[in-house]
Amino acid sequence: MKITILTTGGTIDKTYNEFDGSLRNDRTVLEEILSTLRLPDLFIRHIQVLHKDSLEITREEREKIVAAVQTAMPESEGILVIHGTDTLETTGELIHSEIPNPSIPVILTGAMRPYEFRDSDAQQNVTEALLSVRLLTPGIYAVMHNRILRFPGVKKDRENLSFTDNS
């Protein structure tokens, strides 16, 4: 199966700087996560679209993410977008409005805590998203915390640190 993973940064990619105590989007951790998983029959193409906190993503950069999804579709059987959770719903809604009838599953996921943190949800969410891309019908989804939510209508539940939908 051919999957394209588009990375945009976000909490999942934040790394700790020991010298000044900051968390930054300096590099993607995707390869580290993937190296811990057994994925024998997946061909994964990784494209880094952005590398920043999702609160800093502009409208033009969201359109760049949509364009990257559109470009990857003909060569992919599924697309996974790694995105910051603070504005994942905004990007998901834009992808849904610009690509209302995708030919393949497009899944957005991220993490509430950086991958480098011991209690991170990053590996779980990426693993669930990779499995979901095999099982879901074409559409735009958020996959996180043992839930599959279909756009439109996905919302971040800041109180419970997860996502919900209109159902």
* pLDDT tens for each residue of 46-85: 999 999 989 999 999 999 999 999 999 999 999 999 999 9
Q: Is 58 helix (H, G, I), strand (E, B) or coil?
A: coil
pLDDT at 133 (0 to 100): 96
pTM for the structure as a whole: 0.92
Domains of the chain by range and CATH?
A: 2-164 (3.40.50.1170)
* Position 102 confidence tier, pLDDT thresholds 50, 70, 90: very high
* Position 160 confidence tier, pLDDT thresholds 50, 70, 90: confident
Whether the Cβ atoms of residue 72 and residue 79 lie closer than 8 Å to each other: yes
Whether the Cβ atoms of residue 103 and residue 136 lie closer than 8 Å to each other: no
Q: What is the DSSP string of 12-37?
A: GG-EE-TTT--EE--S--HHHHHHTS
